Each structure stands twice: as structure tokens, then as C-alpha cells.
Amino acid sequence: MENVVTRKPSHILLTPAFRLASATALALTLAACGQSNDEATLGQKLDSAISQTEQKADEMANRAEGAMDEAQVKAEQAAADARTATGDAAETVGTKIDDAAITVAANAALAGDPDLSAFKINVDTDQGKVTLTGTAPSEAARARAAELVAAVKGVVGIENQLLVNPG
């Protein structure tokens, strides 16, 4: 009789991982046999995916650039609006300061006149236009008050509402 060595299958061949790996290798081998140009198809798919990714990246870059341009335009407009508002506010403040300076100078001119210094004459200034209210001792003094105020720098007009009170 011959010596026949009978081997039992190894426990490695029966593990689930081994079975899964074998089945996967077999499936890939069969799939490769069924496709004649698999590498080209895979390469084409890869090229297509890269191209699509580049297109999306370009689209996103263009969108971002457009958003940045829009944001810059809005920021420039906001800055221009702020400069305008600041300029308007500065002009308003400047006008108020000018009006106050005109009022002070007009009061000083009226107080320096001997015929008018004893009378209470109110001086109000708005954008360079001076309004005189109160009393004057004569029509000549009333006219003199308007002349003195008209000589003040910055006066653009006078509304003489002084009343003549000879008493």
C-alpha cells in the first residue's frame, strides 16, 4: 500500500476574511476579462473628474472674485456716503460757528456805538442772515444799527425788525 498523506484543510483557508478576499479577487478578475479597454475607461473617468473639479474651482473663484468686487464697490460707496455726511456735518458745524461769530461781532459793533449801546438789541444769525429785534431811539439809530451789522464779515443779509422808541 502506498503511503498517502492526507492533509486537512488549514484553518486559514476557512476564515471569513480569506473568503472575502478570494471572492473580491475573483470578481475583479472576471470583471477585467469582460472589459477590453478598462485602463482607458478608468483614465478617461479620472480625466473627466479632474476636469469637472477644475471647472467647479474656476466657478467658485469667479464667484468669490465677483463677491469681492461687489463688496469693494459697496465699501467705496459707504466711504463716499460717510465723507459726504461728515462734510455736511462739518459744513453745518462751520455754519453754526460762523453764525455765532457773526452774532458776537454784531453785538460788539452795536455795543460800541454811543447811540445804540444803551438799548437792548437782540441779534440772531442763521446762515449769515442777521435779524435785529428790540428798540432803537430814532429812525437814524435804527438805520445805523443795520449799517454796523452789515459791515460785519460773513453777513449775507439783514432783517431789521427794530422798533423806534424815542422814550
pLDDT value at position 47? 78
Name the pLDDT band for 12 (thresholds 50, 70, 90).
Answer: very low
Cell numbers representing residue 80 in the block: 463716499
pLDDT value at position 151? 92
pLDDT value at position 44? 80
- Is the pLDDT assigned to residue 71 strictly greater than 60? yes
CB atoms within 10 A of CB 11: 8
- Which helix or strand (DSSP H or E) is residue 19 part of? helix 16-34
- Is the pLDDT assigned to residue 11 strictly greater than 70? no
Name the pLDDT band for 74 (thresholds 50, 70, 90).
Answer: confident
Domain ranges of the chain: 49-164
Virtual CA dihedral for 39, 40, 46, 51, nearest 10 degrees? 170
What CA–CA distance (Å, rounded) separates 147 from 121?
Answer: 14
| Range of 2-6, 25-29, 43-47, 142-146 with top mean pLDDT | 142-146
